[in-house]
Structure 1
Amino acid sequence: MAAEINELLEHVKLSKVHGVAHDRGSFLLSRLANYYPQRLLSCSFLAVAYRAPGQSMNIDAVNVLTKEKLGYELYGYWKLFEREDASQIVKDHIESFLSILYPEDSSIWREHLAPIGALESFAKSGKVTKRGSYISDEEMATHRNIMKDEYGPAMNWYRCAMQNLNLKDEREAKPDPKIEVPVLMIVAKEDPLSNAMAITAMRENIANLKVVEVECGYWVQVEKEEEVNTALEEFFRSAG
């Protein structure tokens, strides 16, 4: 996928760009920076941190550790997404799923999303929480028109990570984990899924790291659109 981004940039004759990513896109931007560093003027990671290549993902160990540190598993919902029946569960309870995906109060993720079994229980119960004001009816309609209530392909991101399907390629290619261009990490301070350890780990491979904290939940780019865009604009200018 990083190679495809590189080809697209070549096709439209853009030699260098500022890379910006959120959610699973942060993993793709990480690999674009590893495999095609010459394409980037800077990297900006929103809510989800840079992940160095060649590292095994043990989600069970992470959940045990975060349960000890935070009182709840951070990635319990990944365990649902890995299952073959996950997409059907979501489709059968789509209103509950979409309401918890974009909640008005992101703190409910600590109870109804992050812990193991919580998302499945919430969806199957038919509960619906108030949708965040940052997502309009029109935007939700567009989302559903794009996704068609079929989340199986999107869940492949999680399955790929949990099954370490990229690990062999990364260890054979041995891309440089260090990022030489300036990097911005925008932290969503009210995000229950925020991984402070991952953000701290970024400093091992990034010499020029700027961290900006925003008072909002996970969907930082829409919850605090103007604040995030201002931070990005200032960062792009300083990064050249």
Structure 2
Amino acid sequence: MPSFPRKTLAVGSAGHTYDYICIKPTVTTPSKSAIVFFHGFPAIADIWSRQIKYFADLGHTVIAPDLLGFGGSSKPHAVEEYTSWTAVEDIVGILDAEGLEKVHGVGHDAGAYFLSRLYNYHPGRLYSLTFLSVPYSAPGVHYDLDAISAILEKFIGFDKLGYMRFLASSDSPRLIGDHLESFLSIAYHEDMDVRSEHFYPPGKLQAWLKADRVDHSLVLHDEDKENLIGSFRKGDWVAATNGYRLMAENLNEEREKADIADGKLATTIKVPVLGIDSQADKTSLSGSMQKGVSQFLDDESLGTFVTVPSQGHYPHVVSAVEVNGAIKSLVESIDA
């Protein structure tokens, strides 16, 4: 894995410190637009290594932060510090510090949520939005885990959100921390049949961890895996799992609804959007990416949807060539 230049910056009214990868064109490379990458769970900025090197080599400014609770960034325990408006204020602080008025945004998993809110609160700061694996997240929506679980169970045959309840619980930090390699081995398992059986359903992830099962069939290269393990051994799993508590407790809902009513959030997407998904598997609903994005587009022509030729939750890792090509096409169509 390449070693990328990093910066540390205190931002926002909460004074959170962010560690982030920052690469800008040199005098020998052409200067192009900036791209910001938001990682998901459980990851750090380096999970984007295949995209960071590719786009930096093309001459783009590349920013990839360790999000709050991860890597070298602040790890507050108070769940209230992870609210959407706080996260957006922090990210805008990084963009301002780097002199980036407008960027292309790319988000995976939980990073798709951060990208959504960055657009909602600051639509003028984004040229485009790219969502991987998880679609756009609308603001002010009540997240009913039980209701969503019932819908998923009807269509895929099991309760897929058992893992979310565990991660939002007070038990998850200790259990994950005590069995870190076991946790990463199932979170990044390359076989979606194994993940569908041992990661998602209620109680299965806890059982995997308590048995301290370690499977080496991962989507990650050994260097990627060791980098993640090294980072998370120095981490804090209360902080890293706080996003799930925030969601389970719907702590964003009331403020976001008020901000929508006050006209402080954009609720219609008016910039080009790229949705990237993997091939359907036992845990997925076919067409969910396109459906999750298209209903919020100001014009359906703004949406482009790509399915990469592999299964799994990490298309940017497993199918990096295809993902990079799709993002490049979107960016160049806008920058031209």
Q: Flag whether TM exceeds 0.5 (same fold).
A: yes
Q: In 2 relative to 1, CA 199–118 (structure 1 residues): closer, same or farther, beyond 3 Å? A: farther
In structure 2, how many angstroms separate the alpha carbons of the residues matched to 1:7 and 1:150?
Answer: 24
For these two proteins, the number of residue pairs brought into alignment is 239
Q: Following the alignment from structure 2 to structure 1, what is the Cα–Cα distance between the partners of residues 280 and 189?
A: 12
Partner of residue 279 from structure 2, selected from 185, 189, 204: 189
- The residue number in structure 2 matching 1:233 is 328
Q: Is the 8 A contact 2:156 2:284 kept in 1?
A: no
d(CA) in 2 for partners of 1:20 and 1:192?
A: 26
- Provide structure 1 residue ranges, at least 5 long, that are not aligned to the other structure: none
* Number of the residue aligned with 2:216: 130
Q: Of 314, 317, 325, which residue of structure 2 is paired with 1:219?
A: 314
Q: Which moved more, 1:84-93 or 1:194-203?
A: 194-203
CA distance in structure 1 between the aligned counterparts of 2:178 and 2:100, rounded to whole angstroms: 43
Match of 2:295 among 193, 198, 204: 204
CA drift of 1:152 comes to 2.2
In structure 2, distance between residues paired with 1:74 and 1:199: 20
Deviation string for 1:126-159 (max 9, x for gaps)? 3222332x41222112112212164221111111
Candidates 28, 34, 45, aligned match of 2:120 = 34
**2:268 maps to which residue?**
178
Any stretches of 5+ residues in structure 2 without a counterpart?
1-86
Q: Which residue of 1 aligns with 2:9?
A: none
SS in 2 for 1:19: strand
Q: CA deviation at 1:184?
A: 0.4
- Worse-matched range after superposition: 113-122 or 20-29: 113-122
Cα distance, 1:19 vs. partner? 0.2
Shift in Å at residue 193 of structure 1?
4.3
Match of 2:228 in 1: 143
Name whichever of 217-226 and 88-97 sits farther off: 88-97
C-alpha contact 1:45 1:184 (8 A) present in aligned 2: yes
Q: TM-score, normalised by structure 2?
A: 0.68
What is the aligned-residue identity percentage? 33
Give distance in 2, aligned partners of 1:60 and 1:38.
Answer: 36
Relative contact order higher in (CA < 8 Å, ≥ 6 apart): 1
Q: Tell me, yes or no, if structure 1 residue 6 matches structure 2 residue 96.
A: no
C-alpha distance in 1 between matches for 2:200 and 2:113: 20
**Runs of 4 or more consecutive aligned structure 1 residues displaced over 6 Å after TM superposition:** none
8 Å contact from structure 2 (residues 181, 229) kept in 1: no
Query: Secondary structure of the equivalent of 2:128?
Result: strand
The code of the aligned residue for 1:142 comes to N
Q: Which residue of 1 aligns with 2:21?
A: none
1:176 CA displacement: 2.1
More helix by share: 1
How far has the Cα of 1:64 moved from its partner?
1.4
Contact 2:103 2:127 in 1 (8 A): yes
In the other structure, the counterpart of 1:102 is 188
- The answer to whether the Cα contact below 8 Å between 1:96 and 1:123 also exists between their aligned partners in 2 is yes
Which stretch has the larger CA shift, 7-16 or 155-164? 7-16
- CA spacing shift, 1:92–1:142, aligned 2, 3 Å: same
In structure 2, distance between residues paired with 1:154 and 1:47: 20
Change (3 A) 1:164 1:199: farther
Partner residue of 2:169 out of 67, 71, 83: 83
State TM-score, norm by structure 1.
0.93
Helix, strand or coil: the match of 2:241? helix
